[in-house]
RNA sequence: GGCCCCAUCGUCUAGAGGCCUAGGACACCACCCUCUCAAGGUGGCGACACGGGUUCGAAUCCCGUUGGGGCUGCCA
């Protein structure tokens, strides 16, 4: 598509009815990308008109999450609840122009008539226009409906899906003002887009069916207000679905962006992965932001739904983690390994169902944590984790008082290995006097392996478990070198004692 | 039920009528490397939903079928 003559104004308009949904994050990203490459404005509008379900902290959560992903708005946040005056003005204008009429039907009455119609062979669902020409006055808790034409089609020109036609006869007279006088989403949304001079509406495909209503409303508003505002361009993004192909649901799918943050996904990796859902940069998938900004095209967006694949996200996060400079990695890992309070901690995210944190705080005391010690092993940690929340288990042996106790590992490599005592004793004897560096440790341990007639891989297991607690983990000799002779030998002796007991 | 959307390996996708014996990535499997575990390397498995057209030629265009999904609230 050719660049618009005037810079675009796109909005991200979430409703604060829960945590920040990954689908929302993807929509925000595509808006943001589009606006950035055209020198436009990214507007954040919080649609908080549903008093029953909104909570201020959810709005804060959206802002924090956008900030985390590096997509802070250029304008806003605007709160829809603050736009009441313009909503009311629009309602008055629409009423005066005759575009609306009051309806006294209850849901039950409408359903009843639908059933009767169906029984008579008419399959048309929805409102039948019962009150359309009754000339009922406003008030008395009556909702206001929009008078839709009976003939013709409404055409949506969609930037990703092409032209989509909706036959008018399938479009019922929909409610746009509640019985309490407040506007419904379909109206408030359109009015706000007008007052905020929005040029591009980029949102999920689930909004496509309401688009013809908004287009009709837009036209009616132009007439009623004597204005001639250009309709925004629409772009409906493919839905994000779960493994069963269903739209991601807050109920049963892991969709909270905050949760991914707590689990230690890097924002750059998360954003990169999000960009790949419904769009492709072509050759290389792992692309820096600059390339994303250069290559992204709304018209290249896929039309079919995309599965949110945590495995691929994790792979990508691992790649980003490994690509970090070591000091960058140390800094990024801080909230997961340093028990001292920081400005944000992974335990701050609690599962909405259980109320429990999804990530536990480090098991060691704040005073035992040593960033220098951590940094000295950072390079070997870096290539072994896929997310930052996996880091603590790799380094706990450094900061806990004793070796971590993993019963399965102890049983497998020490208690259940009749050669373990000999290896442990030999290691203890040798380690007490040898030069303390990883090369010397490596050679000595190899010598012990030779004398007991085992490969080093087999011989190191008891030592590893005695000192580091588990059969798997960081490279042994690097770890011992950092832990130190005193503590290493103490733990070897402790394992021997435990074995003897 | 009605309206709308969608359809390439298990998944995300490349593919804009001949470059396709359909390419890449994740996952999976095997081997190599190796002090465990990773990382890395090499190789393997694996898809154009089906049926009709159009065309010299179709994954690509058209129609239909089937399948999947979304919407169908005085929620947003």
Tokens standing for residue A52 = 């029953």
List pLDDT tens digits, range A292-346.
999 999 999 999 999 999 999 999 999 999 999 999 999 999 999 999 988 899 9
Is A384 exposed, middle or buried (CB count within 10 Å of its CB: 0-12, 13-18, 19+)?
Answer: middle
Measured CA A450 to C1' B10 distance, in angstroms: 46
* Strands A175-177 vs A9-12: parallel, antiparallel or unpaired: unpaired
Min mean pLDDT across A2-11, A171-180, A382-391 is at A2-11
Q: What is the DSSP-derived secondary structure letter of residue A19?
A: S
Tokens standing for residue A281 = 């940069």
Q: Give the model's confidence band at A5: pLDDT under 50 very low, under 70 low, under 90 confident, else very high.
A: low
Could you write out the DSSP letters of every residue in A129-167?
A: -TTTTT-PPS-TT-EEEE---SSSEEEEEETTTEEEEEE
Measured CA A225 to C1' B27 distance, in angstroms: 57
pLDDT cut 70: percent of chain A above it: 99
Please determine, for residue A4, whether its predicted confidence score (pLDDT) is greater than 70: no
Average pLDDT over residues A80-94: 96
Measured CA A464 to C1' B46 distance, in angstroms: 40
Average pLDDT over residues A472-476: 96
Measured CA A319 to C1' B44 distance, in angstroms: 24
List pLDDT tens digits, range A190-201.
999 999 999 999
Cα–Cα distance, A428 to A495 (Å, whole number): 11
Measured CA A302 to C1' B51 distance, in angstroms: 26
Q: Could you check: is the Cβ of residue A109 within 7 Å of any atom of nucleic acid strand B? A: no
Q: Could you check: is the Cβ of residue A117 within 7 Å of any atom of nucleic acid strand B? A: no
More confident residue, A307 or A54: A307
Q: State residue A66 phi and psi, 5-degree precision.
A: -60, -40
Residue/partner pairs of A405-413 with CB below 8 Å, 24 or more apart: A405/A469, A406/A465, A406/A469, A406/A470, A406/A471, A409/A465, A409/A469, A409/A470, A409/A471, A410/A465, A410/A498, A412/A461, A412/A465, A412/A471, A413/A461, A413/A462, A413/A464, A413/A465, A413/A471
Please determine, for residue A1, whether its predicted confidence score (pLDDT) is greater than 50: no
Q: Could you check: is the Cβ of residue A152 within 7 Å of any atom of nucleic acid strand B? A: no
Average pLDDT over residues A161-175: 93
Please give the nucleotide, over all strands, whose C1' is closest to the CA of residue A385.
B38
Q: Could you check: is the Cβ of residue A165 within 7 Å of any atom of nucleic acid strand B? A: yes
Please determine, for residue A2, whether its predicted confidence score (pLDDT) is greater than 50: no
Q: What does the pLDDT read at residue A195?
A: 96
Rounded to two decimals, the ipTM of the complex is 0.95
Q: What does the pLDDT read at residue A283?
A: 80
Could you write out the DSSP letters of every residue in A261-273?
A: HHTT--HHHHHHH
Measured CA A302 to C1' B58 distance, in angstroms: 21
Cα–Cα distance, A391 to A264 (Å, whole number): 9
Please determine, for residue A43, whether its predicted confidence score (pLDDT) is greater than 50: yes
Q: What does the pLDDT read at residue A123?
A: 77
Measured CA A454 to C1' B10 distance, in angstroms: 41
Q: What does the pLDDT read at residue A298?
A: 94
Q: Give the model's confidence band at A368: pLDDT under 50 very low, under 70 low, under 90 confident, else very high.
A: very high
Average pLDDT over residues A181-185: 94
Measured CA A145 to C1' B45 distance, in angstroms: 58
Instruction: Compute the mean pLDDT over every residue in chain A, rounded to the nearest whole number.
Output: 93
Nearest alpha carbon to residue A8 among A74, A80, A54 = A74
Cα–Cα distance, A31 to A169 (Å, whole number): 33
Average pLDDT over residues A220-231: 95
Tokens standing for residue A171 = 């479009």
Please determine, for residue A240, whether its predicted confidence score (pLDDT) is greater than 60: yes
- Residues of A from 200 to 229 whose C-beta is within 7 A of strand B: which are they? 205-210
List pLDDT tens digits, range A107-162.
999 998 988 888 888 877 789 999 999 999 998 899 999 999 988 999 999 999 99
Average pLDDT over residues A203-218: 97
Q: Which residues have a Cβ under 8 Å from the Cβ of A79 and sit 6 or more positions away?
A: A45, A46, A48, A59
Please give the nucleotide, over all strands, whose C1' is closest to the CA of residue A142.
B74
Average pLDDT over residues A466-471: 97
Please determine, for residue A174, whether its predicted confidence score (pLDDT) is greater than 60: yes
Tokens 């335990």 map to which residue?
A: A347
Q: State residue A130 phi and psi, 5-degree precision.
A: -50, -45
Min mean pLDDT across A30-44, A48-62, A313-327 is at A48-62
Residue nearest to nucleotide B68 (CA to C1'): A245
Please determine, for residue A289, whether its predicted confidence score (pLDDT) is greater than 50: yes
Q: What does the pLDDT read at residue A382?
A: 97
Cα–Cα distance, A474 to A384 (Å, whole number): 8
Whether A25 and A65 have beta carbons less than 8 Å apart is answered as yes
Measured CA A315 to C1' B44 distance, in angstroms: 21
Give, as ranges, the nucleotides of chain B with any atom within 7 Å of a protein CB: 1-8, 10-15, 24-27, 35-40, 68-76
Please determine, for residue A3, whether its predicted confidence score (pLDDT) is greater than 60: no
Q: Could you check: is the Cβ of residue A271 within 7 Å of any atom of nucleic acid strand B? A: no
Q: What is the distance in angstroms between the CA of the first residue and the CA of the last residue of chain A?
A: 77
Predicted model pTM: 0.94
Q: Could you check: is the Cβ of residue A89 within 7 Å of any atom of nucleic acid strand B? A: no
Q: What does the pLDDT read at residue A122?
A: 80
């Amino acid at each position: 598509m050719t660049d618009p003559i005037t810079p675009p104004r796109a909005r991200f308009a979430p409703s604060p009815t829960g945590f920040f949904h990954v689908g929302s994050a993807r929509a925000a990203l595509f808006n943001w990308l589009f606006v950035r490459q055209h020198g436009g404005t990214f507007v954040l509008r919080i649609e908080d008109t549903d008093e029953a379900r909104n909570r201020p902290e959810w709005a804060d959560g959206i802002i924090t999450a956008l900030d985390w992903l590096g997509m802070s708005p250029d304008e806003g946040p605007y709160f829809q609840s603050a736009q009441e005056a313009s909503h009311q003005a629009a309602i008055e204008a629409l009423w005066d122009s005759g575009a609306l009429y009051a309806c006294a039907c209850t849901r039950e009455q409408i359903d009843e008539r639908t059933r009767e119609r169906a029984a008579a062979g008419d399959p048309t669902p929805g409102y039948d226009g019962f009150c359309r020409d009754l000339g009922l006055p406003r008030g008395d808790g009556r909702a206001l409906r929009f008078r839709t034409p009976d003939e013709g089609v409404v055409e949506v020109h969609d930037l990703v899906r092409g032209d989509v036609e909706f036959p008018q006869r399938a479009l019922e007279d929909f409610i746009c003002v509640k019985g309490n006088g407040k506007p419904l989403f379909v109206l408030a949304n359109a009015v706000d887009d007008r007052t905020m001079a929005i040029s591009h509406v980029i949102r999920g495909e689930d909004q496509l069916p309401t688009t013809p209503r908004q287009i009709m409303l837009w036209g009616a508003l132009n007439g009623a207000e004597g204005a001639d505002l250009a309709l925004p361009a629409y772009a409906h993004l493919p839905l994000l679905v779960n493994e069963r192909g269903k739209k991601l649901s807050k109920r049963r799918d892991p969709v909270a962006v905050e949760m991914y943050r707590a689990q230690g996904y890097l924002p750059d990796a998360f954003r990169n992965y999000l960009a790949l859902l419904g769009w492709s940069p072509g050759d290389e998938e792992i692309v820096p932001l600059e390339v994303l900004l250069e290559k992204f095209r709304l018209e290249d967006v896929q039309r079919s739904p995309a599965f949110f694949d945590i495995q691929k996200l994790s792979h990508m996060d691992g790649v980003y983690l490994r690509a970090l400079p070591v000091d960058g990695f140390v800094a990024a890992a801080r909230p997961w390994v340093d028990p001292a309070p920081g400005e944000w901690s992974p335990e701050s995210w609690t599962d909405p169902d259980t109320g429990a944190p999804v990530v536990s705080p480090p098991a060691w005391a704040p005073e035992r944590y040593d960033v220098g010690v951590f940094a000295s092993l950072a390079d070997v940690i870096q290539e072994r984790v896929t997310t930052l929340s996996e880091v603590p288990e790799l380094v706990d042996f450094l900061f806990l008082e004793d070796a971590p106790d993993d019963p399965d590992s102890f049983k497998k490599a020490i208690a259940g290995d009749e050669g373990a005592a000999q290896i442990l004793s030999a290691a203890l004897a040798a380690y007490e006097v040898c030069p303390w560096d990883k090369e010397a440790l490596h050679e000595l341990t190899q010598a012990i392996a030779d004398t007991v007639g085992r490969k080093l891989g087999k011989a190191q297991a008891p030592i590893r478990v005695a000192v580091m607690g588990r059969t798997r983990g960081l490279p042994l000799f690097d770890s011992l070198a950092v832990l130190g002779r005193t503590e290493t030998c103490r733990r070897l002796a402790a394992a021997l004692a435990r074995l003897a007991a």
